[in-house]
Structure 1
Amino acid sequence: MNRRLPVIAGLTLAGLLGLPAIAQAPVRFEAVEQAREALDAARQQQRNARARGERLEQRAARSREASEKARAEAAALAARVQQAEAGIAASEARLALADREKRMLDRKLARRRTPLVRLTAALQSMSSRPLALSALQPGSLRDLVYTRAVLDSTIPLVREKTSALRGDLERARALQAEARQALADRRESEEVLLRRRKELVALAEQERLRARQAAGGADREAQRALVLAEQAIDLDELVGRLEAAGSLRERLAMLPGPVPRPADPGAARVAVTPPSPEPSATEPPARYLLPVAGEITAGFGEASASGQRQAGIALAARPRAQVVAPGAGRVGFAGPYRGFGRIVIIEHANGWTTLVTGLEILDVAVGQNVTAGSPLGLAPTRRGEVTLELRQGGEPVNPLDHLR
């Protein structure tokens, strides 16, 4: 028997029990933590969209007015679309998390591989020589007794240490199963998303047609909005002009109607006093939400590269993500605007205005009434930013302060 065998066995066992075999780069945990945060965020978005969809479906079932029912149904379907999008994001985050955890586990197992290989080779060499032949070789019996003593004292420790290794191998198999399930869930969510998007496109088109039929002057108003967009120097001026037009429209609507002619010409005229308008309230929209699910890439008031302060927030949207109306109101502008893609301006009650930019496809028209969660359109095909601005009386305010 090889005289080096006891030495090899002893050193190999020592390495297995804790001595470093090969210098390894330190394991980084930042990527795993980022994947966990992305998974938590996607699951929260999924829960929020599901709850909003259920609430809107109940509202649509209770609605008696056809237009209100249609808006609630469209908003509910848009919420279901966002729920499916969040499901895809959650599956992708689960897949990334499983992949990164498996890579960390592979590094951990690689550090243990060298002492395990040495121990296996030593044990195989020992088992290949019969005990009777080892006893006939000079010095082999002493080496065998020494090796046996080493093994008897360390085998319990080997079992204890390798139990963690067995657990790591089980974890590796579980991570592979998790990755396969995440892929299956993503495919299912993609199929649901495709089906619900088709339903939403059809429903949004019906809503636009109903809005156009209900408002005979909608085309003229849309034309005026386009003229204002061409005349405005920048986006701030466009929003200001639309706010002024919306305020004028509200004041005209509050004017009293014509006084009816008395039936008896000789009857005394009764002076009709027009109702005094109540002071305008300043309450923000009762329900306000983000137009698209995504990470906030620029906060309110942050300085841009040009030094200009952000008048709103920017959200990183998934490709072709569903964009919804943040609050209830009336569409004052919907169309392309130079440098901002397709934009939507929504006039809320009490002098509040919302501006959403960065859309590629629009599902609303000027003059259309929307509710919180109504579909506005889709984000760009490539990953991009959708911006949200909320103004009160023309002054930008932080939209995050009014989410509810």
Structure 2
Amino acid sequence: MKRFLVFLAASVMMAAVVSCEYDSPDIRFQQTTTVTNDYSDLVKALQDQTLTISKKLELLEEALKNQTLTLSQKMDLLNKAYENGVLKYEEMAQKTIEAIGSLGATVAEKLAAIESALKVQTTDLNAKLALIEKALGLIKEASEQGFDGNAKALELVKSAIESLKGSVEEKLAAVETAIKNQAMALETKLALVDGTVKAGLADNAKAMELVKSAIESLTGSMEEKFAAVEAAIKGQTMELSSKLVLIEGAVTAGFTDSTKAIELVKSAIESLSGSMEEKLAAVEAAVKNQTADLGSRLTLIEEAVRAGLADNVKATELVKSAIESLTGSVEERLAAVETAVKNQATDLSSKLALIEGAISAGFAGNAEAIGLVETAIESLKGSVEEKLAAVEAVIKSQTTELSAKMVLIKGVIEAGLADN
């Protein structure tokens, strides 16, 4: 009997040991799950060469759903997943957007998360476009609450471009390809142009080419193309100078005229955020920026005066700044002034201020000045009487210098609108 009881006891113990061995995998699995819920252990797991990709993906998905991890921590995990070959860049970008949408983070935190993803080095700019568009959408919302959207948008796009791998030529080629992408919003393309200039990949001439490509890539009717331009002009993610270039491009492409162009310039000024001083500073910066032609800058100055951002004295200063910013030979600068003088979107007083500036800058003498005045008068719309009325209004103006008025009168005589 005793032997039987000893045998029975031994059997029970063996069964218990066997039972523990069968249960042990579950115990170890529970421990692994607990470990990987810890942020630092998740990082180690993603770097662990002994774990399979599928296992790492499983752990990453669980982490992204974990409400106790911050957005910053989730972004670090996504970066680590990309660095260790767990995710492709486009997958990382998509998961970044999903992570941003699933958390109640602030706009600043969300933009910081996007910036983190944009700074990751890759040759694929197109994969970053979804992130840029998401960022611009967030900026648009935040701008309504006084957020400086233009500065942040430029910073983000610049980060995306600078992080591209390859030579300057390869980076620029990636930008050009993205600009021609018809699935991308015009506003995003123009932000991309701004960022390209800021990153030092394109000069003003190249920037104008890129804007032209962006406009040419628009699809739909003339009305739809104009609506796309108008929406971009009203947005707060582009610099004022880029908006002027866009307006020029729209006029050249033929889906807006000089009258609508003035309205677009007005919209561009209205879209400026900040105090009156900040808005005027934005106008001054655009006037000095050489990406837009001189005629567009004159229109901007006129609209700034109408919007109450500048008086006539300040307007004259701005015109002088625009002339001083001109580069090239005397002949090239004089040609730029002549083109601006022919622009029918600017009024006679602005053209005269421009001619004054050209005289002051020393690249137009009296003979050239009279010729420019004659050109300015010829560019005026309307009958002879209406043109004379415009001349009389400028002559009566107290902001125009006497010497400029005398040149104007000589030009009127040369144009045959008045005799001696």
Q: TM-score, normalised by structure 1?
A: 0.23
**Higher helix proportion, which one?**
2
Task: Indicate the structure (1 or 2) with the bigger Cα radius of gyration.
Answer: 1
**Higher strand proportion, which one?**
1
Q: TM-score, normalised by structure 2?
A: 0.22
Asked which structure has the greater RCO (Cα within 8 Å, sep 6+), the reply is: 1
